[in-house]
Every structure is written in structure tokens, then in C-alpha cells.
Structure 1
């Protein structure tokens, strides 16, 4: 699960906001199920920060959102913000291709990035499982081996490679769109 927060920082409060942001990121990292935080700073001269916080389960994300610690942090930062706190919750599959500016890339670009992520895994993952399949013939059967291989690819795509690929190709995914 992914929490995306956008903050438009008031003029003259950038230093205070940066200090607050460091404390907020540290607090989020100590929460159960936390998988990572990315902070996207404003482009040249901008004032909107986007923070992406990932959690393993929806219940863990909701616990962080509802926590007294987060409520205190939000109350502390409110005077530094132009438009308040704007949290949005996405499941990871939705978030892969939903840029922060609400621009949805064309499906052909989404398909290209997905292909580039899945093809190498589809070629490599079965080879990596082969030694275990030879040691455990029941696991190497048609159904069992396909379940293991498919589950491995899906988990690697969702939790590791697709978030990284989306960040890597973010400029290309947004190119040509209204931003």
C-alpha cells in the first residue's frame, strides 16, 4: 500500500519544513510494515513536496494514518503549509502508473515499461528455480512449478522492480502529457 502526500510549503518556511520532514520520515520508518519513503522535492523554484510512503499491508498503513504520532506531526506542520495536508492512498498496482500530477501515461508506454520489467524476470526466474525443482521433483511438476515461478515474478515485479522502473522512466512516462 502506498500513501502519497503533497505539501505546498509557504514562502519563507522551507528550512523549517525540511526539518519537520526529516522527523516525519524518521517516524514513518519506525512503523510496523514500513517498506520505504521517497521524497520528491519541487522542480526548480517550485514549492510542492511529494512524499511517498509504502507499507506492506493496508491495516499497517491505516494504523500510521490514524496514529497520534502522525496527527501531532500534521498539527505541527500545518502553519508551514499553503493548502494543508493532502494524503492519497493507493494500492501498489494503482500507484505504478499514477504520477503525482494526476497525469496518466498512455497505455502503450505503460505496456513498454511493464514488458521491460517482466521479460527478463520471465527468462531468469525459471532458471533460478531449476536446481530446487531437480531436488524436489514434486515441486517441479507442471502446476507446482508454474505457481512458484509466477508467484516469484509477481512479487518481484510489485515490490521491487516496477516501483524502481517507474521512477527510472518517470520523465519518459510524463513526456508529452499535460503536467
Structure 2
């Protein structure tokens, strides 16, 4: 699987007032079920408010469009959406995006993106320590396997390691941690 095959599914649910706890229970169930589907690569849930109601944005990643489509078309998902529909103010809002990550705020008409300089600061904050640490961590293997230590191969290994760590491990929690600052005008 190449990283170009990865597809992102954005699901937005605005929950009716006073029904948030019931929705949270349902959300935990559907997340557990989705994780069991072939090609599921992870999920992030962003909680916000829109027009006075709780807005849940679920960002799911799948290994391919066909794997994602299998989840979307599944009877299990259809039944779960029917089960929760009475809690939703706007129904099940689904958007498929070939991009792998929404590090900052997902693009939408009513949620502005943080300024690019803030995005650059957060990205720098995440990448700099990795750029200093990851090459050191690979050095023992490069010494054991000299062919891996060559200029091109070592740079490919180090860069791929940093990119994967940033995209899948560090950027999602860091952006959640700095969300208040990122979204402040």
C-alpha cells in the first residue's frame, strides 16, 4: 500500500441539545466497530460547537477508496446511523477527501483555518525535535548495515520515519493541544 492510496473520510454530526452523552456512547460503539473493518487506519474525533449545538467531526483514514466504500456501504454502518439519527440536528454529513490528514481545522464554510504562520509554528515545533532525534536513533542500524547508511538510502529512511511520525503520531495530538491558540483570532 502506498501512502497515495490512503483516503480520509470526514463525518460531521451536530447533536441536539441535551443528547450529547447518549451520542458519546453511540460514538464509542461505532468507533470500535469501524476499527475492525479491513483497511481502517485510524480515527480522530474533534469536538466543537456550531450554532449553539455540539459538533463532532470524525476523521477516519482508510487504506483505499474501496475499503472506505465497503465501510460506508456496510449494513452495520447503515443500521448504526439509523439508530442515532434522532439525536442529530442535520443528519449524517459525510465528505470523502483524498488528502491524508486534516492537521488543523478541516475546511468548511463556517470554520476558518488558522493563520498560516500559526500552522507553520506548530509544524516547526513538531518537526524540529524529530529532525534532531530520528537520525541519531537510526545510527546503530546504519552501522550494522552499511548499505542503509548511504547518503540517499539513509535520507529516505530518516525522512520517511519523520513524515510517518508527524502525520500519524505527533501532529494530531499537538494540534488538539494547541487548538485554543490556533483558533484564537
TM over 0.5: yes
Listed one character per residue, the Cα deviations across residues 24-67 of structure 1 (whole Å, up to 9, x for unaligned) are: 22222222233444444455x94323142433413333321221
Q: CA deviation at 1:11?
A: 4.1
Aligned runs of 1:1-179 on 2, under 5 Å?
A: 1-11=7-17, 13-14=19-20, 16-41=22-47, 46-59=52-65, 60-90=67-97, 91-93=99-101, 95-99=102-106, 102-176=111-185
Structure 2 runs not aligned, ≥5 long: 1-6
Q: CA deviation at 1:2?
A: 3.4
TM-score after normalising by structure 1: 0.83
Return closer, same or farther for 1:131/1:37 CA change in 2, 3 Å cut-off. same
Q: Which range moved further: 49-58 or 74-83?
A: 49-58
Aligned equivalents of 1:58, 1:42: Cα separation in 2: 28
Q: CA deviation at 1:5?
A: 2.1
Aligned residue pairs total: 174
Secondary structure at the counterpart of residue 102 of structure 1: coil
> In the alignment, is the contact (CA less than 8 A) between 1:6 and 1:48 conserved in 2?
no
Return closer, same or farther for 1:62/1:137 CA change in 2, 3 Å cut-off. same
Q: CA deviation at 1:97?
A: 1.9
Aligned equivalents of 1:15, 1:107: Cα separation in 2: 35
RMSD over aligned Cα atoms:
2.4
Return closer, same or farther for 1:127/1:104 CA change in 2, 3 Å cut-off. same
Return closer, same or farther for 1:109/1:41 CA change in 2, 3 Å cut-off. closer
TM-score after normalising by structure 2: 0.81
Aligned equivalents of 1:98, 1:148: Cα separation in 2: 30
Listed one character per residue, the Cα deviations across residues 139-179 of structure 1 (whole Å, up to 9, x for unaligned) are: 11111111111111111111111112111111111111xxx
Aligned equivalents of 1:92, 1:39: Cα separation in 2: 15
Structure 1 runs not aligned, ≥5 long: none
Secondary structure at the counterpart of residue 139 of structure 1: helix
